[in-house]
């Protein structure tokens, strides 16, 4: 459920980038942030370690615009991918209206992708959400690598049917806007008062 | 109860402003646990309140986990002492945070006292708001969605 402030006529949705460590979540968010017009976006907050690994979260607010008198916002977050930050991931995921799962296309990362996705499922279920009906898109990032997982591998392994799938090279911005557009559209379509 | 609309609208800000006047604090914010600022008072010109709210909510949920680890359900107050500015964060009705930024640390007792004192007033204001019938059904309608989808296509267009 998005956060609705009837007094100030504000509607805020939360979008979370989830996935294994180093899959490119922060790179996705940074690209979107710099691609947006300045008056639409707030400052980006990056909480990372000295090695630029996300420690707690990255965040920026985006103002979509005014609709029917309401000012509609999208608050964008990334979670830390490293396995031992599970508690932080849960906290950030709570209250999400839509999730982008950023998978690492590197062949050797198959097991990490699967493990991370299973944790996502477990967490969404524990929040009382039906993850099969939840706005969720799968991004195969790092398509520029030489040996990449063929599309369909993860869906088959995880038994995913009908989930929107996109290819990306986040470092070059390829597929990044398509991904955020796809998840945002799903969030709006599923939105009910 | 019987409040005219405008008066109800500024309830939160009025309560926060009174607290600022009494404590001489710099800024006060009311933040939801989702990280959204719902009311502000005092000087906010130096502060990115959106980012601040997201961070404070993150801090509070992290603190809740820390509390659980030591067998508490939650720490109700967070206090950060700086060189020149200090932050007092208190939990309200289990779902909101009252953030007070102040400069004179010797006033910490007063800040803590006032934060506790206005708690019931804020809770009451939240209850009034929840029961007031200012809700409109304009959001979530097919037309609303169509507008939103158009905006999304425009804003996230591929360059
Ligand atoms: N080759 C290639 N490298 C990428 C791509 N996207 C991101 N990277 C690189 O992968 C590394 C990790 O990217 P991040 O965006 O920090 O990854 P993350 O998912 O936020 O990682 P954590 O915060 O630790 O969970 C960086 O060195 C990026 O430059 C891509 O599409 N192709
Ligand atoms: Mg990161």
Report the CATH number that the domain containing residue B25 is assigned in CATH.
3.30.450.30
pLDDT confidence bin for B46, thresholds 50/70/90: very high
pLDDT tens track for A82-135: 887 888 898 899 999 999 999 999 999 999 999 999 999 999 999 999 988 999
Q: What is the pLDDT of residue A85?
A: 84
Helix ranges (DSSP H) in A13-166:
25-35, 86-93, 110-126, 153-158
Nearest by Cα to A91 from B68, B136, B80 = B68
Question: B137 to chain A: nearest residue by CA?
Answer: A193
Window 144-183 of A: residues touching B by CB (8 A cutoff) are 173, 177-178, 180-181
List all residues of chain B from 76 to 105 with a beta carbon under 8 Å from chain A. none
Grouping H, G, I as helix, E, B as strand and the rest as coil, residue A109 is: helix
Residue B30, token pair as written in the block: 């009311």
For the CA of A52, the nearest atom of ligand 1: 16
Burial per residue of A135-158, b for 16 or more beta-carbon CB atoms within 10 angstroms, e otherwise: bbbbbbbbbeeeebbeeebbeeeb
Of A68, A174, A182, which to mutate for an interface test with B (greatest number of B Cβ within 10 Å)?
A68
Residue A69's SS3 state is coil
Is the shortest distance between the CB of A21 and ligand 1 below 6 Å? yes
- Contact across the interface for A45 and B62, Cβ inside 8 Å: no
CA Rg value for chain A:
16
Owning domain of residue B30: 5-155
pLDDT tens readout for residues A134-176: 999 999 999 999 999 999 999 999 999 999 999 999 999 999 9
Residue B135: the pLDDT is: 62
Polymer length in residues for chain A: 193
CA pseudo-torsion sign A172, A178, A183, A185: positive
Q: Of chain A residues 56-75, which have a CB less than 8 A from chain B? A: 56-57, 59, 61-62, 64-65, 67-70, 72, 75
Residue linked to tokens 């392994």 = A157
- Looking at the 3D structure of chain A, how many domains does it have? 1
pLDDT at residue B8 is higher than 60: no
Contact A5 B38 (CB under 8 A): yes
pLDDT for B26 beyond 90? yes
Residues 6+ apart with CB under 8 A from B104: B24
A35-68 pLDDT, tens digit each: 999 988 988 888 888 788 888 889 999 999 999 8
pLDDT per residue as tens digits for the range B56-115: 988 888 888 888 889 998 888 899 999 999 999 999 988 899 999 999 999 999 999 999
Torsion of CA B136, B141, B143, B144, to 10 degrees: 60
Region class of A95: left (phi > 0), else alpha (psi between -120 and 50), else beta: left
Q: Do A72 and B151 touch (CB under 8 A)?
A: yes
| Closest residue in A to B66 (Cα–Cα) | A87
Measured between beta carbons, the chain B residues lying within 8 angstroms of A57 are: 58
Instruction: State whether the beta carbon of A171 lies less than 6 angstroms from ligand 1.
Output: yes
Q: Do B53 and B78 touch, CB atoms closer than 8 A?
A: no
Minimum mean pLDDT range among B1-15, B96-110, B118-132, B139-153: B1-15
- The predicted pLDDT at position A3 comes to 85
Tally Cβ neighbours within 10 Å of residue A159: 6
Domain of A176, CATH number, reads 3.40.50.300
B48 touches chain A (CB under 8 A): yes
Give the domain extent around A134.
3-192
């Amino acid at each position: 459920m998005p956060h609705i402030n009837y007094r100030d006529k504000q509607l805020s949705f939360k979008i979370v980038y989830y996935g294994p460590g180093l899959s490119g979540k922060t790179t996705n968010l940074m690209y979107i942030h710099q691609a947006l017009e300045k008056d639409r976006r707030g400052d980006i907050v990056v909480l990372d370690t000295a090695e630029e690994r996300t420690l707690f979260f990255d965040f920026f607010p985006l103002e979509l615009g005014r609709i029917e008198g309401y000012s509609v916002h999208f608050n964008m977050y990334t979670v830390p991918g490293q396995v031992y930050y599970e508690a932080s991931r849960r906290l950030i995921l709570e209250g999400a209206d839509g999730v982008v799962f950023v998978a690492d296309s590197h062949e050797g990362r198959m097991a990490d992708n699967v493990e991370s996705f299973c944790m996502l499922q477990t967490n969404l279920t524990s929040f009382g959400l039906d993850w099969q009906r939840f706005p969720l898109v799968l991004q195969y990032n790092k398509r520029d690598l030489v040996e990449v997982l063929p599309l369909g591998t993860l869906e088959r392994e995880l038994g995913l049917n009908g989930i929107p799938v996109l290819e990306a090279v986040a470092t070059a911005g390829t597929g990044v806007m398509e991904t955020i557009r796809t998840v945002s559209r799903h969030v709006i379509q599923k939105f009910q008062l | 109860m019987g409040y005219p609309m405008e008066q109800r609208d500024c309830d939160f800000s009025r309560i926060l402003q009174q607290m600022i006047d009494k404590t001489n604090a710099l800024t006060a914010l009311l933040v939801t646990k989702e990280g959204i600022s719902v009311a502000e008072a005092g000087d906010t010109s130096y502060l990115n309140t959106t980012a601040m709210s997201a961070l404070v909510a993150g801090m509070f949920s992290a603190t809740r986990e820390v509390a659980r680890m030591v067998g508490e359900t939650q720490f109700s107050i967070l206090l950060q002492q700086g060189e020149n500015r200090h932050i007092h964060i208190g939990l309200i009705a289990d779902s909101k945070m009252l953030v007070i930024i102040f400069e004179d640390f010797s006033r910490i007792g007063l800040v803590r006292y006032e934060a506790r004192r206005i708690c019931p007033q804020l809770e009451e204001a939240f209850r009034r708001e929840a029961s007031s019938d200012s809700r409109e059904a304009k959001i979530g309608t097919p037309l609303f969605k169509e507008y939103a989808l158009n905006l999304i296509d425009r804003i996230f267009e591929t360059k």
